[in-house]
Structure 1
Amino acid sequence: MTTESRRLPLPEVPSAEAFRAFFETVELPAALCDTRLHLLLCNNAFARFCFDHGLTVEQMMEGLADARVPEDGAACVVEVPLPQGGVVVMELARRGESVSVVGRRESELMRGQLVVVEQALLEQARTEGVLLDLGRSVAEAGSEEELVASVARGVKELFPGRSFCIRIIDARTGGLTSLYAEGRLKEGSREPLVLKRTAVEKMHLTAESIPAGKVVVAALVPLLFESSTGGVSAPLVASGQLYGVINLEYPSSLREEPDPMQDERVLVQLANQVAVAVKNAKLIDELTFVRKYLEELLEKANALILVANRDKKVVVFNQAISRLTGFSKEEVLGQDVFTLVPEDEHMRLASVLAAAMRGEAVPNFELRLRTRMGEARASFATSSALASQGEVEGVMAIGQDVTVVAQLEQRVIHAEKLASMGQLAASVAHEINNPMTAVVAYSESLLQRAMMMGSAGAADSEKLRKILESGQRILRFTRDLTSYARPAKDKVERVQLNALLDKAVGYCEHVVAQAKVKVERDYGELPPLHAVPANLEQVFVNLITNACHAMKPGGQVWLRTRREGREAVVWVKDTGSGIEPTNLSRIFEPFFTTKMEGNGTGLGLSIVQRIVEKHGGKLSVESELGQGTTFTVRLPLAD
């Protein structure tokens, strides 16, 4: 035995029209009853038989009412009294829950017909009983595996001693989804499915409904099992779609002579029933898949999705809104939707729900939601009505957390303010530069004259020297600031990295002095690299500034460079307090910052990372609480 499966269910039992037609052609008076001798059906010969003996069919059955019903598989003779005297002899034979009743006539020919009728009645009753049981069992099947197993039990009971194979396919692709075989299959007989041409024509199957390459139509169906002497098959067809095939074959070890025509008639009845069940099961599977897919989309969507029914109970609460509020789905489902908003929002929410229940869409409204911590956070959403058969069943609200949007807007505004202040600072530096140039020139002239004429004392000369040095320092600072603030040109040049680092330190001279820290340098021999100098200066100014801000007075910043293969590596290390592990993974996110409000935008490291990657390099960070932080910049060297 071979079994394979995936999924399905089933109903419905076929009619016995073929048997009824045969039943009417029999000359013997015959009827079929249940085990209480209640009439189920009779032929015209039986009605004439009753009339010939002065009885109606109902009177004949009343005469049998007290008769003893034989045991299953046995038969007996019953005499029914006639109104005019005498008796009529009736033969009763039982098979399962069915009893055949035949009026006896004294003739060998009639006796032979009696046997044929009895056998036909009992066999038909047995077939219908099996099909009825099969209909019930497949209707209760919870999977394709269970359904195929139920069909296999029915085939065994209907066709004892036969080999058989049940194959279910996907109607669209023709791919095999289930296979059950009773007997030893030949090598390579699983696929493709072979259908008899006459059966295809009889079922009105079109070429479009037969998957190419997976199903073959032929005049004869090849035998699937080893040692088979013959067989029949029936395709599983419902609503013009092919769902599989059942093959029934006669092994050489079969004792009785098979009746292929009768077997095919019963097999077609069975196949029709199974095909409808498979179709229903496939539809159920597709609907289940679509429903689960839509539920998954709602659950995993980045938008906030909330659905409330007509009773204002929450029926959908997706992951995004669960993260926002801190409440789990299990806590919220089935609860009143008003529990999710502060009390002062109840009236506004009620008006939105009322409008949506009337079928009116309510776009662009803001609502504050409660969170697990009790704080109300702003939410932006639209709502729409869910309707079924013209009746509104609930309300769906889709939105986003505008709290985060508002924070991002504030940070962007702050970043723009800083950019404006940077431009203002550059303008101020330019204005300072002109008078300071005069201060430096005149102090230098005075100092030179004093030294040449010896008219100034040592103290005065020292004061003039300090004026000159301070003026030169201010000029250098304003020049560097103006240069740094000037929009960078994306012109790639050959850059000496060590010299560029020294320039960046110069830019940070004021920050270093204010933080009261020291900068230590350990430069290795580096060949030039191709880069936009102003952009790399921005990288190292940012890293050095961050290092200064992370330390207490007395700390140290180490700048170390080395060549590693085809890369120049720069380490910027500080002796600060380190970065929390939870923050380390977010350190390069735009707008993420651990500084106090107004002390940073959270954009610096994000920009630094983008610049490094634009140069074909990599930026990484390592940090340990209490031990400091090290940023590593790797840049490709020039060829």
Structure 2
Amino acid sequence: MAGTRRRPGRKAAKRTRAPGARPKPRPRPKPGRRRRPPPPPVAPDPSDAVLLTLSRELAEARAEDQISGALARALDAVFPGRAFSIRLVDPRTLALTTFYASGRLRPDRPGRLVLARDAVEEAGLSAAALAAGGVRVVEREEPLFEGYEEATSVPLAVSGALYGVLSLEYAPGGPGVPAEDRPLLRRVAGHAALGVRNVRSIDELTYLKTYLEELIEHANALIWAVDRDRSVIVWNAALAKLSGLAAGEVLGGEALLRAPDDERPRLAAVLARSLGGERVDGVETRLLRRDGGEVRVAVNTAPIAGASGEVEGVILIGQDLTLLRSMQAAAEHAERLAAIGRLVAGVVHELNNPLTAVTMYSDVLLERFTARGQDPADVEKLRAIKDAGQRIQRLARDLVTYARPTGARTEAVDLVPAVDEAGRMAKPALKEAGAALVRDGGDGPYVVEGNRPSLVQVVLALVTNAAQAVPPGGEVRVGLAREEGEVVLTVADEGAGMPPEVAARAFEPFFTTRAGVGIGLGLPIVQGIVERHGGSVSLTTAAGRGTTVTVRLPARAATPTELRPVGPADARQRPPGDTPTHPRLPRPPRG
């Protein structure tokens, strides 16, 4: 019975046909047909192993010389006995970038690329575009090597762009047939084209990455970036200079640590908004400096999206508000100066005639009283009147010079004779202080472009200030030197120096520590003249070690004919802002 099992130890029952049933006929083989034997094993193609190795080497290549070396080994293994050449080009300009040849080049062959028209059409390239790039498209291949008569070439093309050409050449009676080699050469070229394109893409991405990094690093803006964990991933040079913290000290750290404690919640809220995909503009915040100080900056933030479109970080681009504040202060200062200039001009105009009469008459009377042996007390009173009038004239002149600087013409000026002239003019102040003037440096010339009387006034003011600071018997040293395209003038004294709080205000208008001697415009006037000449002035001092004022002016090359020595005519020139002429006064009465 179907589905039953035979019990162990018993023989199977013999099946019998039903009575009258016919036996089932067995199939007979068709006449003339035999059983087919199994196919023999196919021998592996040696070129497949070479192409596999080539693919691996091209995938690992990072430079064109590695690609050309891998191709040379593959062509030598797959096409023995043929000469070959490998030419790689820039797909944009079609300029040759790499050339590898295994034979001796014919001298009559031009350096231009040559391709057969059928190879160009087969690769899907534009013959017109190739011709415009300097590639010759011909009907028949032209061998490059001496002793070879036939050639076949295949372009290295991807997506309509030409990356190079592979060529095989055949000697008479040598191995190989161009038509038979061409299919395998196309396979090699296909691998090579992808490898060259990948290397070029990597090079372009590397260049673009480096370019962007350099752009961010050296941008004239404060640029930093954070990731989703608020760790700093970018900290450019401008920010490092402003904060005093190098990138290596900041990268990878918590961004909020760069701000003061009371500013961190506000900065965290701004970063959270940008990490949510929002741009935030015009945020003023404070950052910590290495020295413990703070700087105020204004920043704009923007989210950084990754390849998936998700926000992966935030970039912050800022501006140091110190410069903006200084520009605002300069504008306010200019407005104040304009107002002072208008006021001073009117005051000086009204005071000039009476003061001139006072000083001239007192001078004449002083000489007359002295010659006649008048009462010494009266002589001293006249001298006090004369000194007071001259002092008021000097103050008025300083106010005009500071508030309304002149735009005098400039010329090539050698500072050596200018310093000598200022030294002669400063002799009364040096004599009164009991100080000696010493000049350091060579004979020059130390040439700058400037206004000669103004530069003499600078040296005179600095030497006079120094003479007032030195003790009796001290020295005032004036030095001249050249440093990196600049002429450097230094005036140093052996005085008591300045405490830091005084030195910080030395160039502040109307600040003085010698009440009754001046109104605090000496150094501000010097600073204004120097800056109008494109230079800078600085001061170094320490209590008990004297003071040195350093003036830096752009150096200028000048011919000897341009340099006019400072003479008596220059000594008679009045400093900028002085009253140009005195009014004619009546002669004092005799008596």
For this structure pair, what is the TM-score category when the shorter chain's length is used for normalisation?
0.5 to 0.7
Residue pair 2:537, 2:549 contacting (<8 A) in 1 also: no
Residue 178 in structure 1 maps to residue 92 in structure 2 = no
**Partner of residue 219 from structure 1, selected from 139, 145, 150:** 139
SS of the aligned residue for 1:92 comes to coil
Residue 468 in structure 1 maps to residue 382 in structure 2 = yes
TM-fit CA distance, 1:355: 1.7
Deviations 1:137-179 (A, max 9, x none): 2122222222222222221221112110011000111111112
Amino acid corresponding to residue 337 of structure 1 in structure 2: A
SS of the aligned residue for 2:503 comes to coil
Distance 1:513 1:313, change over 3 A: farther
Equivalent runs, 1:588-603 vs 2, <5 Å? 596-600=503-507
TM-fit CA distance, 1:478: 4.0
Residue pair 1:573, 1:629 contacting (<8 A) in 2 also: yes
Residue 369 in structure 1 maps to residue 287 in structure 2 = yes
Deviations 1:233-277 (A, max 9, x none): 1111111111111110123573x4x22211012112222332233
Within 2, Cα distance between the matches of 1:315 and 1:268? Answer: 46
Within 2, Cα distance between the matches of 1:506 and 1:424? Answer: 34
Q: Which residue of 2 aligns with 1:536?
A: 452
Residue 92 in structure 1 maps to residue 9 in structure 2 = no
Distance 1:496 1:142, change over 3 A: closer
**Partner of residue 358 from structure 1, selected from 263, 270, 276:** 276
Q: Which residue of 1 aligns with 2:76?
A: 156
Q: Which residue of 2 aligns with 1:325?
A: 243
Q: Which residue of 1 aligns with 2:296?
A: 378
Amino acid corresponding to residue 92 of structure 1 in structure 2: P
Q: Which residue of 1 aligns with 2:22?
A: none
Residue pair 2:425, 2:460 contacting (<8 A) in 1 also: no
State the TM-score, normalizing by the size of structure 2. 0.67
Amino acid corresponding to residue 386 of structure 2 in structure 1: Q
**Partner of residue 282 from structure 1, selected from 165, 187, 200:** 200
Q: Which residue of 2 aligns with 1:106?
A: none
Amino acid corresponding to residue 197 of structure 1 in structure 2: R
Within 2, Cα distance between the matches of 1:448 and 1:159? Answer: 117
Within 1, Cα distance between the matches of 2:171 and 2:96? Answer: 25
TM-fit CA distance, 1:473: 3.8
TM-fit CA distance, 1:231: 2.2
**Partner of residue 400 from structure 1, selected from 319, 326, 337:** 319
Residue pair 1:443, 1:464 contacting (<8 A) in 2 also: no
Q: Which residue of 2 aligns with 1:73?
A: none
Residue pair 2:89, 2:164 contacting (<8 A) in 1 also: yes
After superposing the two structures, state which structure 1 stretch, 479-488 or 163-172, moved more.
479-488
Within 1, Cα distance between the matches of 2:349 and 2:212? Answer: 62
Within 2, Cα distance between the matches of 1:572 and 1:242? Answer: 64
Q: Which residue of 1 aligns with 2:16?
A: none
TM-fit CA distance, 1:305: 0.6
Amino acid corresponding to residue 454 of structure 2 in structure 1: Q
Residue pair 1:195, 1:218 contacting (<8 A) in 2 also: yes
Amino acid corresponding to residue 464 of structure 1 in structure 2: D
Residue pair 1:172, 1:211 contacting (<8 A) in 2 also: no
Equivalent runs, 1:186-335 vs 2, <5 Å? 186-187=106-107, 189=109, 191-207=111-127, 209-210=129-130, 212=132, 214-252=134-172, 254=174, 256=175, 258-335=176-253
Within 2, Cα distance between the matches of 1:364 and 1:544? Answer: 48
Q: Which residue of 2 aligns with 1:60?
A: none
Q: Which residue of 2 aligns with 1:348?
A: 266
Within 2, Cα distance between the matches of 1:331 and 1:499? Answer: 51
TM-fit CA distance, 1:219: 1.6
Amino acid corresponding to residue 471 of structure 2 in structure 1: P
Distance 1:236 1:499, change over 3 A: closer
TM-fit CA distance, 1:348: 0.3
Within 2, Cα distance between the matches of 1:236 and 1:136? Answer: 18
Gaps of 5+ in 2: 1-27, 440-448, 481-486, 509-522, 566-591
Within 2, Cα distance between the matches of 1:183 and 1:493? Answer: 71
Distance 1:541 1:179, change over 3 A: same
Residue pair 2:461, 2:526 contacting (<8 A) in 1 also: no
Within 2, Cα distance between the matches of 1:93 and 1:637? Answer: 101
Deviations 1:561-587 (A, max 9, x none): 9xxxxxxxx997745269xxxxxxxxx
Q: Which residue of 1 aligns with 2:14?
A: none
Residue 391 in structure 1 maps to residue 305 in structure 2 = no
Residue pair 1:501, 1:537 contacting (<8 A) in 2 also: no
Residue pair 2:426, 2:460 contacting (<8 A) in 1 also: yes
Distance 1:517 1:412, change over 3 A: farther
**Partner of residue 339 from structure 1, selected from 257, 260, 285:** 257
Q: Which residue of 1 aligns with 2:519?
A: none
TM-fit CA distance, 1:307: 0.6
TM-fit CA distance, 1:369: 1.3
Distance 1:148 1:595, change over 3 A: farther
TM-fit CA distance, 1:338: 1.2
Identity %: 33
Residue 576 in structure 1 maps to residue 490 in structure 2 = no
Within 1, Cα distance between the matches of 2:383 and 2:268? Answer: 73
After superposing the two structures, state which structure 1 stretch, 140-149 or 296-305, moved more.
140-149
Distance 1:129 1:548, change over 3 A: same
Residue pair 2:225, 2:313 contacting (<8 A) in 1 also: yes
Distance 1:514 1:209, change over 3 A: farther
Distance 1:160 1:451, change over 3 A: closer
Please identify which structure carries the higher strand content. Answer: 1
Distance 1:374 1:283, change over 3 A: same
Amino acid corresponding to residue 379 of structure 2 in structure 1: R
Amino acid corresponding to residue 597 of structure 1 in structure 2: A
Distance 1:515 1:336, change over 3 A: farther
Distance 1:489 1:357, change over 3 A: closer
After superposing the two structures, state which structure 1 stretch, 226-235 or 294-303, moved more.
226-235
Amino acid corresponding to residue 136 of structure 2 in structure 1: V
Residue pair 1:507, 1:541 contacting (<8 A) in 2 also: no
Amino acid corresponding to residue 69 of structure 2 in structure 1: A
Residue pair 1:315, 1:333 contacting (<8 A) in 2 also: yes
Gaps of 5+ in 1: 1-52, 55-83, 99-124, 522-530, 562-569, 579-592
Distance 1:598 1:348, change over 3 A: same
Residue 126 in structure 1 maps to residue 42 in structure 2 = no
Distance 1:291 1:543, change over 3 A: same
TM-fit CA distance, 1:471: 3.0
Residue pair 2:355, 2:393 contacting (<8 A) in 1 also: no
TM-fit CA distance, 1:333: 1.8
Residue pair 1:170, 1:176 contacting (<8 A) in 2 also: yes
Distance 1:419 1:245, change over 3 A: same
Q: Which residue of 2 aligns with 1:66?
A: none
Distance 1:393 1:136, change over 3 A: same
Within 2, Cα distance between the matches of 1:289 and 1:595? Answer: 53
Residue pair 1:205, 1:241 contacting (<8 A) in 2 also: yes
Residue pair 2:365, 2:382 contacting (<8 A) in 1 also: no
Deviations 1:313-345 (A, max 9, x none): 111111111222232222322222112112211
